[in-house]
Structure 1
Amino acid sequence: VSEFGPQPDGHGAPPHSRRPIQPLVSPNRAALRQPHRKPAPSPAVGNFQVMGGFQTLTKPSLDFFGKNPELLKRLSECSEENPTMADLLVALFFLPTHHLHEYGRLLLKLATCFEVCSNEYQVLQDSCSKFESLTQLLKRKRKDADYTCHFWKSFPGKMTDSLRKPHRRLICESSNKALTLQNAGRFSVNWFIVFNDALVHAQPYPDLRPLCLLYTRQRLHGRMNRLYGLKVITPEETFHLLASSAMEKAKWLRSINQAVEQALSGAGQDTTSVDSGSGQKLEPPVSRTASYTFYKDGRLKEATFGEFWAPNKTLNKSDHYQGHWKDGKMHGVGTYASGEVYDGFFQDNMRHGHGVLRSGKLNTSSPSVFIGQWLQDKKTGYGVFDDITKGEKYMGMWQDHLRQGTGVVVTQFGLYYEGAFKDNKMMGTGILLSEDDTTYEGEFSDDWTLNGKGVLTMANGDYLEGSFNGEWGSGLKVAGSYFKPHLFLDTDKDKTRAVKLGRLCVRAEDKWKAVFEECWRQLGCEEPGRGENGTAWENIAVALTTNRRHIQDRTLESLEVIPQHACDTPLHPLGRLLETLVAVYRMTYVGVGANRRLLPQAVSEIKSYLNRIFQIVRFLFPDMPEEGGLIPEPTTSIQDKKDPGSSDAPLESPKPGRVVSSSALLLPVLLPRLYPPLFTLYALEKEREDDVYWECVLRLNKQPDLALLAFLGVQQRFWPVSIPVPMPALGEKQQVLSSTKDVCFASAVETLQQISTTFTPSDKLQLIQLTFEEITQEVQALLKQDFLWSMDDLFPVFLYVVLRARIRNLGSEVSLIEDLMDPCVQHGEHGIMFTTLKACYYQIQHEKIT
């Protein structure tokens, strides 16, 4: 045991076994020589647990050990009853840490072999203390990993992907409303999460603030603020917070300050859980050296500061303008920054025309964005206001900075209101719908406050009619009558209960007037359509040649011929118009605006864009016929195609010409840029129907090809008996067996699947037509003769192709085509084919699986 001679009891070790004591006592001899340093165990196992690694290993472990992994339970020394596989894996990987305590006890027993005053005794005692400290440290680290792993399981999935990091550990969070934002809106969500490296404000999207530049202050003004208030200062924002109690306030201050102190010391990744019972008061240094890159919109965006920081040092907030001038005044398009940032048009030093105002980016806790019309420096006309803190979006009319007139409000909780506004409040007649389809139509006196006569309709069709008073969601006082229409045979009155949306909102033609007026002004027209065509082209030429270096010559040459090319460059008035319309559309219908009840308005808005842009195109190309007019085919081309001998009995009547359509001309240019938010609305609106359809598709696709063809009633003469092999040799074909799957009409199925990769209804209809042609070609090759379909024969075959195509959101695709397809093709060949696809969709929904 030792080379230092016999022990007090007279028993010594054999001479050949005597070795120095130091190599036995600690795996880290440097730590023994420097007692102030703590052991630094590897965090790999904890990081693996935090990232969900053990859950990922569950399936392969079950495959290897079986459903009753007794061997794994013995290896992990787990004493729990009925542990899960993930629990066993965690216990197994943390097993070595459980032995550290035994190592310390062993060293303590070894120390009894030496004199208390000896150097060996002291070394062994110190080493034992090191092992005990290491044991406690590892226990805390495992506790941190367990706490963080449990947190990620309950955290919203979309935000988990962006926030979950191997080294990141949870300190505390406010999901229990222990800490809230002062003066927050009623429907706002403000969730604060303190990690060991950042403070996260989820509202509703996560916003990270690095701890090294986070400062806390106690609020001393007012009794409530003195007891429960605290202020958190970051480089770009200041939060005024209220805790639920004085104890919670002390806990949060201590937690944040401890996390900041550890982040500054470089120990942020080794932080441990906050001990709420600790009385130690940590005060991080006021002056710090750190690097920070501003990321919010504003004058300092993307600027990096890497110097000295202090919370009382104010940023340079002198006003900044970059843009056009006239007579020494801001006039034209420009950007003005003064704490909040305005990007848009000016007139005589005032915001005038279309513009975007981003507020609350640098010095407040209420960020918001307004995009819309301005009149002499005031919000007046149509505009969209996105209050990110409250989680509300308003789309409607304004007057002198106040909501005035008709408008729509949607919230992140699914509430929808359309109706009258007065003095910035919901006042007058309106319609309110909740996420579960509960509807109120009647009088309002304030935001979300019912006051007066109205009708409240439940999701099941029952309704209350009478006088209402109270705030939505906080209890209503009702004096009236309760009706259950489904109990009576007369359903005419029940039909009148369905609320028609869109009556109390701004018409699509009245939206974004300032955007179109600015485009007309750029063309030299004071009013839409009133101006000289030559002047318009001169203005276009000036705009393009002034910035000729920014675009290709090939594009310049085609701008006067093809309107689509004009939309590809923001230098052209049409291109700038399109760019602005895409921005306002996304601003309206993305985020909180992704509400399924806004779909009719979103579709009407696109149709309004098409009509108004088409008016500009016809002004630039005056020879173009009006909407629905005909462009006659050149006479020479028709005569050239005719055979002299067949003039008396032509095989095909000459086409009268091409129908002029704003949809056919402009939708291929506009829709691809608006497609993501628009299709999201369709998917939300058709979610229930698509789920029913998809469940049926999955169940029917379990059947082999021949069984499915028989089930759908396809005539046997249309059943493919053989198909070409993938790599044919001398026309070799593969026999279709009873178990063969996904091979019949494969080319038609593949063609129809491409419908999800296209944007415009015309492209989708073209693919439907190609699918029919693929089916016809395969049947003709099978029958070895020309064949004319009847709908009774064609429908089951096409139904089979639709099922095999497995288009996830077919209902959304069908609705988009139906709403935006060119009217001139509705009653033609494409219209009939589309009707067949639509019938297949509804047939699948109601198909009897059994």
Structure 2
Amino acid sequence: MVRLITRTLDMCATEAAESLLQSEETFSACLARINAIVLKPLLQSEPHEQKGKDNLKLLLLLNDCFHALWDLTEENHRTLKEKFSISPSLCLQDLYILWKGDLFLSVYIQYFVTFANCVVVQGFDQAAKNKSEFWKTHKTALKQFLADFTSETSIPVALHTVLHKPLRDHVQQYALILTRLSEAIGKSPDRELVTSAAKQYAKLQSFISQVLDEACLTKALWKSLGHKLTEWLCVPERRLLEDSKNLPVFASVGRTNRVLLFDDILVLIQGNNCQSFDLKLVWVDGSGSEKSAPENRHTIHIVTPEEAFFLSAKEPCMKAVWQWKLNQAVRQALNGKRDFPLWGEAREGSEPPVHRCFKYVFRAEGRFKNAAYEGEWYWGKPHGKGTLKWPDGRNHVGDFKEGLEHGFGICLVPLISEDRYDCYKCHWCEGKMRGYGICEYGNEMVYKGYFNDNLRQGFGILENPSAEQPFKYTGQWDNDKKNGYGVWDDKDRGERYIGIWQDDHRHGQGIVVTQSGVCYQRKFHVDKMVGSGILLLENDSVYEGNFTRDLTFVGKGKLTFSNGFTLEGTFSNKSGQGLQTQGILNTSSDQQDASITKVQLGLDEFPVEKRWQGIYDQFLGFLHSGCKEEMEESFTGFHIQTSKELRKSQEYLFCQRGPEDVSGKIEDVLEELVQHQEPESLQCYLQKAFKSSLHPLGKLLKALTFAFQATYSGIGANKHLLNMAQEEVKYYAKKIWELYQGLLHLALEQKGQPLAETEDGEKSDLSAYRLILPLILPCFYPELFMLYMLYHEKEDDLYCQGIVDLSLFPDIKLLEVLDVQKHLWPLKDLTLTNNQRRSLVKDKCFLSATECLQKLITTVDPREKLEILQKTYEEIETTVSRVVERDYKLPMDDLLPLLMYVVSRARIQHLGAEIHLIRDLMDPTNEGGMYDFLLTALESCYEHIQKDMRLHQRETWHMARDP
């Protein structure tokens, strides 16, 4: 059975090949005659005018396509002939029109498209006119191609017919051969293949008919239109698809009297003028839902980048045809090629995408006039990623929404008459900068902060790093001006202003800290100091009264010296005579030894809850929006993934993006908040969140860190600002805890779970101390501890001198000096060498407790420091229990001398700063407990060592005064 089918197939294939061989031989000879009689003469003309030259180019291109088709025919003929010379029987694989169908189709399509281009621009009419005498003498030669050729047949028609009819007939012959072959092979497995190929050649016939019909229709249009319109619109490749004269439709634009649909543009003709719309940027809506649509009409809404209008038909069938043709024309224009066949079933009914990518130059009045936009579109408006470029050099690269800049974008604005640009890397909303942004100005200044409606608004940092007048402002902005609380670094003068601003001027209470260590607090009015103030000198003298900007005392005032003396009176400064005063100098004995109170500035003038309000406002706005993702992007930093050019410029709040352990997607953040509510799990989660530059809480902490550093680092490291800094850190913890609870509340609400109970003020503060403060303190610790060291510098110096003196004593002698009871001395710990006496051995007693206490400086968390102190106490108690050979609970009388011994041997620098930091920042619930008791004991040791040194210094002073 298989052999029978195979034999039948071979017989049918052989018959088809014989027919094809004969057809190809006849067709090849026909092509040779056409080439000699028609094409060669057509190409011999030498036109001088531009139109003739353009026509010749088209004919040359047609000649190339013709020869490609002729070569393919010759090759097919030669191959078939060789096959028959080898064997009288052929198979399906020998039929090239079957197996190489795509090649045949593409060659014929290219030829007929080029031929149609010549028809559209009346190329054959022009050729006949140029060589009219030649064609008159060659009518006989043309006759052999045309059966119905008469003396009345025009030369252009003859040329038109000769150059397409034989080829069109040959395609029909291909389709006929394959159709007969399909019928002959019956139910063979290869029948589907042959049938499919026959259909393809039938479609090619349909394509040729449509191409020629469109060409003739377009040619007729150009003849009917005025010369001016034809010059504007006539392009060889352009085809007319529909004309409102043939299928009536009316446009709602101006006085439009004709609508033309081409394969690349839609044209509205108004008298001798016309409007054209590129089909790639035409959107078609036939729903008729627009309110402004004409009444009692079947309308199609047409949307273009700068204009929208309606096409109205009287009958629904007319509307349907126009809508279908418009959609297909737009889709094919977007694809960059026509369908095969032109209106084939394969694409029938499909609509073009509403999201597109294209380039367009705006012409209408407005912000975008003359700007070229290249990027994504949606319903006639830039929407998605794109680039705007203006002729004057401005350009914007980024996200667009409904025709406006919306989302992250980079905008370059050239400076007039300078080869510099202002570069805005910002979040945009409805065409204006809104949210966080980074602006690099052409004058080298840089702004990092928040915007609203193109103006700096909220928290921001403006810095001028240039050599001339370098400065840095960190603080609040309003309406593009410095307004509210802020910090100004004048690097040229070497001073820092911390205080209130109004309209770019220092206005209100302010603190000025200088590089030399001098600082003062005054009230300012439009950058000028008014009223009296307080001036703190480097030698710890304090002046209260009026003074000039160069720190000269003027008018009434009081000067308190570091030794306690006071000078109160009227001060003046006459040129060449120095500072003069009239007043009272108080040197009373009760004042001489009194230490100067360490003045703290800014506590009442700048309430902690009113500092850096701009940072919290952004987070609260994000929270109140329901934590929308687009709000989160503008809240602080950017994490949208865009093109390579944009990714290079994206920055998070004051930091580069690094590896993240916590997701930045807000839906993930809210989900994780719900999952981590238990204390241990929450602490671990928050620790990761604070380290992440993607997490909202991490971004908030980063902003607060930079604000804190801007205030208290460098010049701001002044002991008179300690209390300001300390209460600020505490408030950070409290505020972050409140904002965390707000996030959790929102997360639970969105999931429909029971809402967490809101903590009262006292309980919330405790949670902030216990959970938040230890996690955020490392960010502020370097600057904060420096302030503690400066504040307690004198006490620590006395303490260090005392430690040096005590370190000179051997262990036994020191225990004796400190009045440690002898039965508690760990004498067994003292291992002697041959040349040592027990009284000279040092640093052996209570060694484990000493090493434990030394770990106090290795941690930041006050709670961990207290745990180290407790561990030290336990080590002392363990040692004593071992010495007395029983459990021994140390009473205070025994603990203090032993602890003082351990402190003297631990030699911890800046112990006063450590003690006071622990006392100020420890959990309030520890007050009155064991930790409080041990910290009090440590304070007693510290103060006792200082007291001994003060007594020693006083005795030395009296001996020097009274020899």
Q: Could you tell me the TM-score, scaled by structure 2's length?
A: 0.47
In structure 2, the residue matched to 1:461 is: 564
Q: 1:715 to 1:343 in 2, by over 3 A?
A: same
Give the Cα separation in 1 of the matches to 2:515 and 2:803.
32
* Contact preservation (8 Å) 2:853, 2:868: yes
Task: Give 1:324 deviation, angstroms.
Answer: 1.1
* Contact preservation (8 Å) 2:459, 2:614: yes
Q: 1:509 to 1:471 in 2, by over 3 A?
A: farther
1:353 equivalent in alignment to 2:458: yes
In structure 1, the residue matched to 2:272 is: none
1:552 equivalent in alignment to 2:652: no
* Contact preservation (8 Å) 2:436, 2:634: no
SS in 2 for 1:752: helix
Q: 1:774 to 1:736 in 2, by over 3 A?
A: farther
In structure 1, the residue matched to 2:118 is: none
Q: Could you tell me which of 654, 666, 669 is aligned with 2:772?
A: 666
SS in 1 for 2:420: coil
Q: Could you tell me which of 858, 872, 881 is aligned with 1:771?
A: 872
Identity of aligned residues (%): 40
1:625 equivalent in alignment to 2:756: no
Alignment of 1:607-622 (within 5 A): 607-621=730-744, 622=756
> Deviation string for 1:52-77 (max 9, x for gaps)?
xxxxxxxxxxxxxxxxxxxxxxxxxx
* Contact preservation (8 Å) 1:522, 1:573: no
In structure 2, the residue matched to 1:798 is: 899
Give the Cα separation in 2 of the matches to 1:769 and 1:352.
50
Task: Give 1:433 deviation, angstroms.
Answer: 1.4
> Deviation string for 1:252-292 (max 9, x for gaps)?
xxxxxxxxxxxxxxxxxxxxxxxxxxxxxxxxxxxxxxxxx
Give the Cα separation in 1 of the matches to 2:868 and 2:419.
58
Counterpart of 1:667, as a letter, is L
* Contact preservation (8 Å) 1:397, 1:405: yes
Give the Cα separation in 2 of the matches to 1:496 and 1:725.
48
In structure 2, the residue matched to 1:481 is: 583
Q: 1:554 to 1:505 in 2, by over 3 A?
A: closer
Moved more, 401-410 or 815-824: 815-824
In structure 1, the residue matched to 2:801 is: 695
Give the Cα separation in 2 of the matches to 1:725 and 1:619.
62
Q: Could you tell me which of 445, 461, 473 is aligned with 1:370?
A: 473
1:523 equivalent in alignment to 2:629: no
SS in 1 for 2:485: strand
* Contact preservation (8 Å) 1:443, 1:451: yes
Task: Give 1:835 deviation, angstroms.
Answer: 0.2
Moved more, 403-412 or 503-512: 503-512
SS in 2 for 1:459: coil
Q: 1:660 to 1:498 in 2, by over 3 A?
A: closer
* Contact preservation (8 Å) 2:713, 2:783: yes
SS in 2 for 1:661: helix
Q: Could you tell me which of 584, 587, 600 is aligned with 2:723?
A: 600
Aligned length: 487
Give the Cα separation in 1 of the matches to 2:830 and 2:531.
69
Structure 1: runs of 5+ lacking an equivalent: 1-313, 526-533, 631-658, 727-734
Task: Give 1:613 deviation, angstroms.
Answer: 2.0
* Contact preservation (8 Å) 2:543, 2:558: yes
In structure 2, the residue matched to 1:582 is: 705
Q: 1:676 to 1:471 in 2, by over 3 A?
A: farther
In structure 2, the residue matched to 1:409 is: 512
In structure 2, the residue matched to 1:328 is: 431
Give the Cα separation in 1 of the matches to 2:456 and 2:627.
27
SS in 1 for 2:517: coil
* Contact preservation (8 Å) 2:662, 2:689: no
In structure 2, the residue matched to 1:822 is: 923
Task: Give 1:788 deviation, angstroms.
Answer: 2.0
1:443 equivalent in alignment to 2:546: yes
* Contact preservation (8 Å) 1:417, 1:431: yes
In structure 1, the residue matched to 2:230 is: none
Task: Give 1:470 deviation, angstroms.
Answer: 4.7
Alignment of 1:120-139 (within 5 A): none
Counterpart of 1:830, as a letter, is Y
Moved more, 327-336 or 494-503: 494-503
In structure 1, the residue matched to 2:816 is: 710
* Contact preservation (8 Å) 1:723, 1:736: no
* Contact preservation (8 Å) 1:701, 1:803: yes
Superposition RMSD on alpha carbons, in Å?
A: 3.5
In structure 1, the residue matched to 2:695 is: 572
Counterpart of 1:752, as a letter, is L
Task: Give 1:378 deviation, angstroms.
Answer: 0.2
In structure 2, the residue matched to 1:388 is: 491
Structure 2: runs of 5+ lacking an equivalent: 1-416, 642-656, 677-681, 745-755, 953-963
Q: 1:535 to 1:845 in 2, by over 3 A?
A: same
Counterpart of 1:483, as a letter, is L
* Contact preservation (8 Å) 2:692, 2:699: yes
Alignment of 1:146-225 (within 5 A): none
* Contact preservation (8 Å) 1:427, 1:444: no
In structure 1, the residue matched to 2:94 is: none
* Contact preservation (8 Å) 2:603, 2:724: no
Task: Give 1:751 deviation, angstroms.
Answer: 0.7
Task: Give 1:559 deviation, angstroms.
Answer: 4.7
Q: Could you tell me which of 766, 789, 792 is aligned with 1:683?
A: 789
Q: 1:751 to 1:326 in 2, by over 3 A?
A: same
SS in 2 for 1:738: helix
Counterpart of 2:492, as a letter, is T
Task: Give 1:720 deviation, angstroms.
Answer: 1.0
1:399 equivalent in alignment to 2:505: no
Task: Give 1:677 deviation, angstroms.
Answer: 1.1
SS in 2 for 1:785: coil
Give the Cα separation in 2 of the matches to 1:474 and 1:383.
39
Q: 1:836 to 1:817 in 2, by over 3 A?
A: same
Give the Cα separation in 2 of the matches to 1:472 and 1:384.
34
Q: Could you tell me the TM-score, scaled by structure 1's length?
A: 0.53
Counterpart of 2:660, as a letter, is I
> Deviation string for 1:27-82 (max 9, x for gaps)?
xxxxxxxxxxxxxxxxxxxxxxxxxxxxxxxxxxxxxxxxxxxxxxxxxxxxxxxx
Task: Give 1:472 deviation, angstroms.
Answer: 13
Task: Give 1:535 deviation, angstroms.
Answer: 5.3
SS in 2 for 1:436: coil
* Contact preservation (8 Å) 1:366, 1:389: yes
Q: Could you tell me which of 827, 830, 837 is aligned with 1:721?
A: 827
Counterpart of 2:535, as a letter, is L
* Contact preservation (8 Å) 2:544, 2:558: yes
Greater radius of gyration (CA): 2
SS in 1 for 2:691: coil
In structure 2, the residue matched to 1:510 is: 610
Give the Cα separation in 2 of the matches to 1:538 and 1:792.
65
Q: 1:826 to 1:472 in 2, by over 3 A?
A: farther
Give the Cα separation in 1 of the matches to 2:926 and 2:831.
38
Give the Cα separation in 1 of the matches to 2:454 and 2:931.
54
SS in 1 for 2:539: coil
* Contact preservation (8 Å) 2:690, 2:698: yes
Give the Cα separation in 2 of the matches to 1:357 and 1:597.
26
Q: 1:702 to 1:315 in 2, by over 3 A?
A: farther
Alignment of 1:425-444 (within 5 A): 425-444=528-547
SS in 2 for 1:846: helix
In structure 1, the residue matched to 2:405 is: none
In structure 2, the residue matched to 1:742 is: 843
In structure 1, the residue matched to 2:270 is: none
